[in-house]
Amino acid sequence: MGLREELTEGLRDPENLKFPQGFNVALAFIDRHLTEGRSDKPAILTPDETVTYAALVAQVNRAADGLTSRGLGNGDRVLMVIRDCPAFFYAFWGAIKAGFIPVPINTLLRADTYAFILNDSKAAAIIYSSEFAAEVEPALKASPWKPPHVLTEAGFATLRAGAKDAFAAVAAGADADCFWLYSSGSTGRPKGAVHRHRDMVVTSQYFAVETLGLGEDDVCYSEAKLFFAYGLGNNMTFPLWVGGTAVLNAGRPCAETSFPILARFQPTVYFGVPTLYATYLAQMPASKPDFAKTRFCVSAGEALPPTILQRWRDETGLWIIDGIGSTEILHIFLSNRIDDIQPGSSGKPVKGYRAKILDDLGVEIAGVGSGRLYMTGASIARCYWNNPQKTAATFAGEWIDTGDTYQRDENGYYYYCGRTDDMMKVGGIWCSAFDIESKLVEHPSVLEAAVIGRNDAAGLVKPEAFVVLKEGVEEDGVSEELLTLCKTRLAPYQYPRWIHFVADLPKTATGKIQRFRLREG
């Protein structure tokens, strides 16, 4: 019995998982492919290079050996601000194999957030691609914590070139800490979700194989980037688990970069987010993506409007399998199925996960009802790093508070009803109302501001701002200045699409802004 078969057998009972003693997950996703005869098969395809499984194994080993030779110790963190390219695979799996903790970071962040993560993680090393230097390098100067080892992507290549292409995996354990993913915070401070060695096996088997039916012949292409939990599964762990092939796009996801890749590499499974599906539909009268060999599409990151689902089916002949996942749970935990698609619904629980809905008093609702969604399953993060308060508020024993309000119908389908806090998803990425408001009030003309999520013409959530100007300030030109401020000082997806100037904001007796009244208005 091979390693994957052994692990699959150990996952047959989600309530009683079984893993080998000292399990290091790099053996399951990287090393085993050589003994299973895939040495010459493409593991990664990009417009610039093809990486076979044999080359992938060698480069992962070189990364592990090179980082070890730098003096990193067991459990040391390795921050990764790396574009979607083979080096991401090498750094991630090389760190895991050597007993280090890879921490992929959102490449769209700004210097102040990178500086916070550097200090919060106390990383021993950081590896970054040159296109992100303008934000990473100021962060390195500003952060109180200075990682001992700083490598550009080119420097990381030089490190590997001088290392050995054989490396014995460091013994770990299924429940041992393996990697972190930073999740957005409602107060502008990201939280490091600590994931274990077992977690990627669980999501890959229960969702990729048993929900989607992925296999060795599949070629996966994900518009969501590798630093997202969603993209990490779609374009790395899923194809590696089944022995398939990943197609990478280092550029920004858009028709100009994606359509040529689709035509050239002919993926069998396409992973996107609702915003991109809507964008591509708008462009289809002029240019259509080539889905000649695609079996189906997948969507997550934000709720998929039924109109987009039907229009996509009409235009391409393909169904979109919609679901919901999270950084803390690692991938999709509620999902439709290719033979069971309910428009407007997030579907039903994926195998290995259980859901419950609690009312405002914390009492579980049986059957039909709506309330706060809690999930349990074997891929849930152990905790938030260095944040016991948020850990206690989110992780409740075996259950996790998703922060989402959901409705369950009489047939067991779950329907998204919004957030229970002031977060919103914009283009599939968590966005904090607090972050945008804080930036708006930096403008010298602004007294106060409030931000909510509003549906655009396609039914997708975008930020909407309500701004109170200081006494005597005229509105002329301020809107454009606020847009420029947000676009240059926040992540690209965070700027408000609508700005309204108002005389005052609705508040409670204690002065707290009542955003729900802005939503109602």
**Structural domain of 181:** 1-197
pLDDT digits (tens, 9 = 90+) for 415-429: 987 776 667 888 877
Cα angle value 98/75/89 (rounded, 5°): 45
pLDDT digits (tens, 9 = 90+) for 376-385: 999 999 999 9
302: pLDDT strictly greater than 50: yes
Average pLDDT over residues 174-188: 81
Among residues 144, 170, 197, the one where a domain terminates is 197
268: pLDDT strictly greater than 50: yes
396, two tokens: 């409740």
Residue 42 lies in a domain: yes
Bridge pairing between strands 320-325 and 332-335: antiparallel
Average pLDDT over residues 491-510: 83
508: pLDDT strictly greater than 60: no
pLDDT at residue number 186: 39
Among residues 197, 219, 234, the one where a domain terminates is 197
519: pLDDT strictly greater than 90: no
Q: Tell me which residue of 185, 127, 120, 179 sits closest to 155, measured CA to CA.
A: 127
350 DSSP 8-state letter? P
Question: What is the SS3 assignment for 470-520?
Answer: CCCCCCCCHHHHHHHHHHHHCCHHHCCCEEEECCCCCECCCCCECHHHHHH
Average pLDDT over residues 492-502: 93
462: β partners: 454
Considering only 135-149, 305-319, 399-413, 497-511, which range has the smallest mean pLDDT? 497-511
Residue 254 lies in a domain: no
Residue 250 lies in a domain: no
pLDDT digits (tens, 9 = 90+) for 127-178: 999 999 999 999 999 999 999 999 999 999 999 999 999 999 999 999 999 9
For 316-332, the DSSP string reads HS--EEEEEE-TTT-SE
Among residues 136, 164, 197, the one where a domain terminates is 197
Residue 407 lies in a domain: no
Bridge pairing between strands 269-272 and 42-45: unpaired
24, two tokens: 């290091």
Residue 337 lies in a domain: no
Average pLDDT over residues 368-376: 93
Q: What is the count of structural domains for the chain?
A: 2
Residue 60 lies in a domain: yes
473: pLDDT strictly greater than 60: yes
- CA–CA dist 93, 155 (Å, integer): 18
Residue 79 lies in a domain: yes
Residue 214 lies in a domain: no
pLDDT at residue number 429: 79
Residue 16's domain is classified under what CATH number?
3.40.50.980
pLDDT digits (tens, 9 = 90+) for 308-358: 899 999 999 999 999 999 999 999 999 999 999 999 999 999 999 999 999
pLDDT at residue number 512: 55
Residue 442's domain is classified under what CATH number?
3.30.300.30
Q: Which residue has the higher pLDDT, 448 or 53?
A: 53
